[in-house]
Every structure is written in C-alpha cells, then in structure tokens.
Amino acid sequence: MSRWEPDARGRLEQAAMELYSERGFDQTTVAEIAARAGLTERTFFRHYADKREVLFGGSAHLQELLVGAIAGAPEKAAPMDAIGTALDAVAHVFEERRDSVRLRQSIVAAHTELQERELIKMSSLASATAAALRGRGVAEPAASLAAEAGIAVFKIAFERWIGDTARQQPLTSRFRESLDELKAITG
Amino acid sequence: MSRWEPDARGRLEQAAMELYSERGFDQTTVAEIAARAGLTERTFFRHYADKREVLFGGSAHLQELLVGAIAGAPEKAAPMDAIGTALDAVAHVFEERRDSVRLRQSIVAAHTELQERELIKMSSLASATAAALRGRGVAEPAASLAAEAGIAVFKIAFERWIGDTARQQPLTSRFRESLDELKAITG
C-alpha cells in the first residue's frame, strides 16, 4: 500500500458508517473498517483512538464553529442572541450532510455506550460555550446558564429535525422554534 | 456474621465514602468496603451493582422526589413554576446532608468515569422531568425544553451551592437565583 493516502480520514469514516449500518456497531472491527477503506489498521489508529471516535470526529469542528460564532457575534448582542447566531452558523453544516447525519444518529441511538459518549461531547460543548460567553464579558452564573440553555435548544431542535422525515422544516427554523419556545416557557 | 444486617445499605455507603476519601476511588476495592462495613462482598452486591453505584444510590430517590413534586404542583402552574416547586422540594434533602453531599461531589469531580455516570444520571433526570411535564398536559417541545432548562438550573445552582464554603446562601435561594437568572437571560 502506498504511503500516499488521500483523505484517509474521510475514507475511514465512510467505511465505518457503512459497516456499522450493515452489520451493527458491535459486530464491526477496526480491521474490517481499515480493509473496507483500503487502508491499514495502523492508519486507522493514526486518525482515531477507537472505533467509537469515528462517530464523534465532527464534534471538535462543531465546537470550533459554535465558539467562533459566539465570539464573532455583534458586540452588543445579548447572550441568547449570540447563541442564536451561533446556531444559525452551524445549521448549514448539518443540512449539507443530512443523510449522513441521520445515519450516524441512528447508530448512536442504538448503543448505550455511544449515547454516553454523545452526552460527554454535549457537556464539553456546553463548557466551551460558557467560556466563549465569559470571553464576551458575560458574568457567571449567566454564562453557564445561557450555555446550558443553548445546548438544550440545540439538542431538542436537532432531535426534531432528525425525526422530521417529511423534511417539513430546515434546521435553522427548528433552532428558531426552540429558542422562541424556551423564551415563551421562561417568560 | 449474622444474616440480620440492619441498614446494610447505609453502612456500605458510609464505608465506601470514607475509603474513597481516605485512599481514593481507584485504590478502593469492594472487598475493603464490605470489610469496613462489617459485611460480606456478597451483601455489597445485593445492594449495589459496582463500586461506582454506591455514589449514585441517591439518584433514584431524587428522581422520585422531582417527578412527584412536578405531578403534585398546582394544576394551573406553568411548566417552569412546577419545576421551581419541585426544586424547592428537593433542596432540603441536600441541605440536610450537606457535608456528605460535598464529600461525594469531591470524589465524583476527581474521576472522569464518575463524572460520566453523573452526566448519564442527569440525562435520565431530564427525561423523567419531561415525562412528568407531559403528564401535566405540557406539549412537546415545551416539555423537553422546560425539563432541560430545569436541569440546567439545578446543575448550576447546585455547583454554586457546593462551592459556597462560607454558606452564604441555602440551596433554595440558589435555585431561585438561577431560575430568575435564566428568565432574565431568555427574557
């Protein structure tokens, strides 16, 4: 095999997703993922710590996007408005990959250990969001509360978007809908 | 050893907490916990699935209290008000056991795998809270959003209460403070 491995990471991810949905997550080995991608196990481990991590490769990118958008929101924007701007910024990333996002979600939903890792990633996302808000001068506990509320909005809207097989509403509207609903509940 | 084991569960919990804080969680075995409590390992496993679970024995009780208080809130109470009532109902349980709660929290905070189990328990708490709100006729996504927001309030207020070594404010006020702050942020 050549040392030249164009987009090894993407090929491994695609191979893993195919195998997880064909055979199930538990029945798939790293060796099989590497073989399907035409790569070695060693290459796999250069890109991912384990076979769970393949499903969470996007979370660092998501966190960067969210944090960057919060930092870049208009100076006078209130915390929840900065979060709204950030949600808009990440919505298109999910929209563009809708089928793959839905496939991933169905794999995660079927495994307790994957759901647990998802919870951990969401918790990191909330911490990073709170830090980004503090960076804008938002005090505690407002920063942490806004961050947790923002992640709740993200989560609920995301679930509704994933479950909306008729594609009635894009993710951006789901985010807006949930933000408005949260305001109505707490108002 | 007699088959008569008065409050075996409580003795095991106390022994575990002592050992976890003396030696550290990783360095403590189930055999040592049982020995300290004057009980057998077999008795330990009749009460707890593993040594982590000793630290989470209270979460079922907490969930029952929260869900019961939400169900019992005045019929016309809005979702966040029902949650406020429920937080008041659980506050005294923590206040009464403040030192033990703080000790437990310091053990959990020092271990990633315990923090992860805590996240899982909080997620179950949010689901149970959403179900209790739906039981009151609250529609989705309002029920899930209110539940997630309520758990966020719980979490942030609880952290501030734990960190408040000067005991400036009781947990009830911390819950109120966080609820008001959430309303201010989303208002």
pLDDT score, position B157:
96
pLDDT score, position B1:
46
The H or E element spanning position B94 is: helix B79-96
Nearest-angstrom CA–CA distance, A51 and B82:
42
Q: Which residue from B170, B160, B168 is spatially nearest to B96, judged by alpha carbons?
A: B170
- Report CB contact under 8 Å: B184, A80: no
| Residue of B113, B178, B186 to mutate, interface with A, max A Cβ within 10 Å | B186
pLDDT score, position A86:
96
- Report CB contact under 8 Å: A183, B186: yes
Nearest-angstrom CA–CA distance, B172 and B89:
9
SS3 readout for A149-172: HHHHHHHHHHHHHHHCCCCCCCHH
pLDDT score, position B58:
86
Q: Which residue from B173, B154, B29, B55 is spatially nearest to B114, judged by alpha carbons?
A: B55
Give residues with Cβ within 8 angstroms of A82, minimum separation 6: A69, A70, A73, A133, A136
DSSP class of residue B67?
Answer: H
Nearest-angstrom CA–CA distance, B163 and B170:
12
Nearest-angstrom CA–CA distance, A119 and A91:
20
Nearest-angstrom CA–CA distance, B85 and A100:
42
User: Where does CATH 1.10.10.60 sit in chain A?
Assistant: 8-54
pLDDT score, position B131:
98
pLDDT, tens only, A39-90: 999 999 999 999 999 999 888 889 999 999 999 999 999 999 999 999 999 9
pLDDT score, position A64:
95
Percentage of residues in chain B having pLDDT higher than 70? 97
Percentage of residues in chain B having pLDDT higher than 90? 83
pLDDT score, position A1:
46
- Select the residue of A79, A142, A185 nearest B142 (Cβ to Cβ): A185
Q: In chain B, which stretches have pLDDT less than 70?
A: 1-5
User: Where does CATH 1.10.357.10 sit in chain B?
Assistant: 58-186
Tell me, what's the ipTM? 0.87
A3 confidence band (pLDDT: 50, 70, 90): low
- Select the residue of A79, A120, A182 nearest B116 (Cβ to Cβ): A120
The CATH number of B58-186, from 1.10.357.10, 1.10.3720.10, 3.90.79.10, 3.40.47.10, is 1.10.357.10
Nearest-angstrom CA–CA distance, A132 and A151:
13
- Which residues in chain A are closer than 8 Å to B181, comparing Cβ atoms? 141-142, 145
pLDDT score, position B113:
86
- Report CB contact under 8 Å: B149, A146: no
- Select the residue of A78, A148, A186 nearest B183 (Cβ to Cβ): A186
pLDDT, tens only, A123-169: 999 999 999 999 999 999 999 999 999 999 999 999 999 998 888 89
Q: What is the CB neighbour count within 10 angstroms for residue A157?
A: 25
The CATH number of B8-54, from 3.50.50.60, 1.10.150.670, 1.10.510.10, 1.10.10.60, is 1.10.10.60
- A28: pLDDT strictly greater than 50: yes
